[in-house]
Chain A
């Protein structure tokens, strides 16, 4: 993310810390005064531990990001945050479960990009309006790569070849964000891709290195080791600016196709939180994301810290929802 954004983020977070510290009436800052909830006397939220539901198994990217954020949230809100893993159905189990719980702010969920996809890919009852989307906390941009001994030196080469005959492009699974990215690239360029699903990003990258398939779209993290070793050639980053782990590698826009695909994640709650609770949580998440510990964690994990506030993230998720419905529907 750009440094200016980060600075503003830190400044706002520091400001909100002082506000949350003395009175939790920060809602007054962002919401109109006449709002009934904001007019209430000082809220005491949170009065008890908060549960953060993670849609995947412990140890994965979603889990680690959630736990890193929970550490900071716990400090900021001065209450325990219990991280609970409810894996299953690509995340739908957890998301449907959270949607059915009371909207009191004591149950939150980690919402990865699948929150905008599961309705299309699985017909799951996961719709943006079922949730209060409190803030985006991270982004793992996608990259497209080939094996180091592949004849394709640039994205242009790959696409030119794929116009003549179909090429096999691996992804982390059918209905995944990376399959959507490959489909979008094919649609935009007129290339013929046969999308080959794998059990996660690492096996897909390995299949390219092993010569089983022609190219792969994966998260930046999964391509890092191969790129560093020289066994993988990263052709383009699907983001609007250069990725710090891949210096010198063009963005898709620079390579001629203005596509942005990333595995983003944020924190959501059941729809209909009281306004003051919503504001308290939104401010706390913003502050947690700005903390040095959280920033350092995501840097080490190879992800970018891209923060979006509740309103921006809600707009963004709705846009993504429509886009994935077009691409994967």
Chain B
């Protein structure tokens, strides 16, 4: 317990407090800035924090990490543009809620969900980091990763809210996009047209900002004169009422568990967890039909899940020395230079530092939650800005943010091109969610399978017959078949019901 006291005491240093506040401001800002990810902010800050004491430096970096996870929800909800990839699923229900005049409620619920997710994952980190991370590292080889990713791909069915066919087509489009670039296992270039700028494939950041943010912007541009789209002039209520709080319980539990699990898998982060969490919560929900149309359960699920990966990533990073996500990769670089080697040894040699890390994350979460709940009143004014100014500003931010990822204009052009794709998809009723999912998971599945086959000396049966792999692939099959059958049945029923009650059909635009 000596380490505990020491670790906590080192946080009482006023300079550490200063570092926390600095990280908080930076994190919320970069999170809310589409294109600028937490990784980039942490990496740039790392250049400066190397001269600080480790605890001070960690305070800046970890607080940016946590605060960005709150900031990135804001543009997702208000303007359909994910601040960072972790908040892709937030747009599914957040933006529809905002359009319904319930932006305030969406922001509050999103912040609460995020806080619960992080705090739960921190408990895990403090209690069982080393055994858990070691176990995950032993159990999860490439074959198991492959199965997990295949399971993730089955979500395409549930995020195809309107038409299953269009959703799956969009998913295939996403898989095709993901196939562009260098295949990591063989290092062969595919569909790059011989261009160096295409060797890494389509920039994921450029695609998500283009499809969601710029696509929405173009759509508004096209409808502007008709003034069909009402600006989000009111944020509505801030606090959820009793029944709404009740609705948050189940998705928090389900998607929180998803987030904790996904967080422990090194190659998967908040973006994947948000999507899977949203899907699982929908599967157990009593009102799955509301998901994607402004469901409180939906936004709770996506944000709890993506935030719950933070503790998991921290666990694999600190207990194994394997970066849990890209932010943590930068963090390891900094720690090595401070002379701290993350790994099981960290917990026995420097328990004080482990306590400090958990303490910093805890304080950062509480501060971020506080700011998120108070700060937002100013947002009303921001949204009173006429639409043409608001969207013009957003466009500038998106361009700058995307450019900053590579310092290369090609990435910006890609983003604008995907804006055009986004508006076409939107106007033809193809959902953007499956596109992103396919692009995110397709290459991952292929890579893990390739690696697993190498290890198994090319024996496919050996790969899929591993117990955990087989179990997860079985689950994937079930989660693929059940909703499709259910949907077909429901359609038959609905058709019958519709014949009897034609007035009940609801006109509901979807953001997915």
Which residues from 248 to 267 on chain B have a C-beta closer than 8 Å to any C-beta of chain A? 266-267
Q: Which residues of A contact B408 (CB under 8 A)?
A: 86, 88, 93
Given contacts A90-B199, A300-B338, A229 and B138 within 8 Å (CB-CB): no
Q: Are A59 and B455 in contact (CB under 8 A)?
A: no
- Interface flags, A243-263, vs B, CB<8A=1, else 0: 000000000000000000000
**Which of B11-19, B285-293, B339-347, B378-386 lies on the face that meets chain A?**
B339-347
Chain B residue numbers with a CB within 8 Å of A230 are 345
Asked if A194 and B336 make an inter-chain contact with CB atoms under 8 angstroms apart, the answer reads no
Query: Which residue of B has the minimal Cβ distance to A210?
Result: B137
A92 touches B199 (CB 8 A): yes
CB pair B321 A122 closer than 8 Å: no
**C-alpha gap A224/B335 in the complex (Å):** 13
Give chain B residues whose Cβ lies under 8 Å from the Cβ of A86.
406-408
Compute how far the CA of A84 lies from the CA of B47 in the bound complex, rounded to whole angstroms.
13
In the bound complex, residues from chain B placing their C-beta under 8 Å from that of A174 are 184-187
* Contact in complex: A122, B189 (CB < 8 Å): yes
Say whether, besides A64-B337, A88-B408, A300-B337, A196 and B138 are in contact (CB < 8 Å). no
B43/A59 in contact, CB under 8 A: yes
Q: Is B142 part of the contact surface with A, judged by Cβ < 8 Å?
A: yes
- Cα A183 to Cα B322 in complex, Å, equals 25
> Are A202 and B321 in touch, CB under 8 angstroms?
yes
A108 to chain B, nearest CB (A): 15
Q: Report the bound CA distance from A87 to B326 in whole Å.
A: 14
Contact of B406 (CB < 8 Å), options: A87, A121, A125, A206? A87
B43 touches A63 (CB 8 A): yes
Partner of A212, one of B142, B200, B407: B142
- Size band of the A side of the interface? 35 or more
What's the nearest-Cβ distance from chain B to residue A318, in Å?
A: 23
A213 contact set on B, CB distance < 8 A: 455
Pairwise interchain contact A300-B339, C-beta atoms closer than 8 A: yes
Question: Which residues from chain B contact A221 at a C-beta distance below 8 Å?
Answer: 336
In contact, A209 and B336 (Cβ under 8 angstroms): no
Q: Are A206 and B196 in contact (CB under 8 A)?
A: no
Are A202 and B333 in contact, with the CB atoms below 8 A? Answer: no
Bound complex: CA A68 to CA B454 (Å): 39
Q: CB of A128 within 8 A of chain B? A: no
A193 to B11, alpha carbons, bound, how many Å? 49
In the complex, A133 Cα to B42 Cα: how many Å? 31
Q: How far, in Å, is A8 (CB) from chain B's closest CB? A: 27
A64 to B142 Cα, complex, angstroms: 31
Cβ-defined contact, B341 with A228, below 8 A: yes
Taking A59-B333, A93-B196, A225-B345 as contacts, is the C-beta distance between A194 and B457 under 8 angstroms? Answer: yes
Residues of B within 8 A of A59 (CB): 39, 42-44, 46-47, 329-330, 333-334
Q: Please name all residues of chain B whose beta carbon is closer than 8 Å to the beta carbon of A203 when the two chains form the complex.
A: 266-267, 322-323
Determine whether A37 belongs to the interface, using a CB cutoff of 8 Å to chain B. no
| Bound Cα distance from A184 to B142, whole angstroms | 26
Residues of B within 8 A of A57 (CB): 39-40, 43
Given A92-B196, A124-B196, A297-B337, answer yes or no on A229-B43 (Cβ-Cβ < 8 Å).
no
B343 touches which of A63, A194, A231 (Cβ 8 Å): A231
Shortest Cβ distance from A226 into B: residue: B343
Contacts A92-B199, A209-B320: A225 and B343 contacting too (C-beta < 8 A)?
yes
**Please, which residues of chain A bring their CB within 8 A of the CB of B141?**
207, 210, 212
Of A58, A89, A195, the residue contacting B196 (CB under 8 A) is: A89
* Interface contact B336-A301, CB-CB below 8 Å: yes
Contact call B184/A173, Cβ cutoff below 8 A: yes
Rounded to whole angstroms, the CA-CA distance of A111 and B322 in the bound complex is 26
Minimum CB–CB distance for A180 against chain B, Å = 12
Assess the A85–B407 pair: CB atoms within 8 A: yes
Report A-chain residues with C-beta under 8 Å of the C-beta of B137. 206, 209-210
CB distance from B253 to the nearest CB of A (A): 29
Nearest CB of A to B469, in Å: 13
Q: Mark A215-229, 1 if CB is under 8 A from B, else 0.
A: 000000100111011
Instruction: Pick the contact of A61: B182, B266, B333 (CB < 8 A).
Output: B333
Question: CB of A266 within 8 A of chain B?
Answer: no
A96 touches B (CB below 8 Å): yes
CB distance from B92 to the nearest CB of A (A): 28
A212 & B455 in contact (Cβ 8 Å cutoff)? yes
**Cα of A211 to Cα of B139 in the assembled complex, Å:** 9
Q: Name the residue on B nearest A84 (C-beta).
A: B407
With the chains together, A302 CA to B196 CA distance in Å?
32
Asked if B162 is at the interface of the complex by the 8 Å CB criterion, the answer is no
Distance in angstroms from B48 CB to nearest chain A CB is 10
B residues in contact with A212, CB < 8 Å: 141-142, 455
B219 in contact (CB, < 8 A): no
Q: Quick one: which of A175, A210, A300 contacts B138, CB cutoff 8 A?
A: A210
B333 touches A196 (CB 8 A): no
Least CB distance, A246 to chain B, in whole angstroms: 13
Does B363 reach chain A (CB closer than 8 Å)?
no
| Nearest CB in chain A: distance from B395 CB, A | 24
* Chain A 162-198 interface residues, beta-carbon cutoff 8 Å to B: 166, 168, 173-175, 194-198
Please name all residues of chain B whose beta carbon is closer than 8 Å to the beta carbon of A173 when the two chains form the complex. 184, 187
Q: CB of B446 within 8 A of chain A?
A: no
Distance, CA A213 to CA B457, complexed state (A): 12
What are the 10 A-B residue pairs with the smallest beta carbon separation, nearest first? A59-B43, A59-B330, A58-B43, A89-B199, A225-B343, A225-B341, A210-B137, A229-B345, A174-B187, A206-B322
A-B contact pairs, 5 of them (CB 8 A): A92-B196, A122-B182, A196-B451, A206-B322, A230-B345
**Could you tell me which A residues sit within 8 Å of B by CB distance?**
57-61, 63-64, 67, 84-90, 92-93, 96, 121-122, 124-125, 166, 168, 173-175, 194-200, 202-203, 205-207, 209-213, 221, 224-226, 228-231, 297, 300-302
Other than A58-B330, A226-B321, give 4 A-B pairs with Cβ distance below 8 A: A86-B407, A225-B342, A226-B343, A302-B336
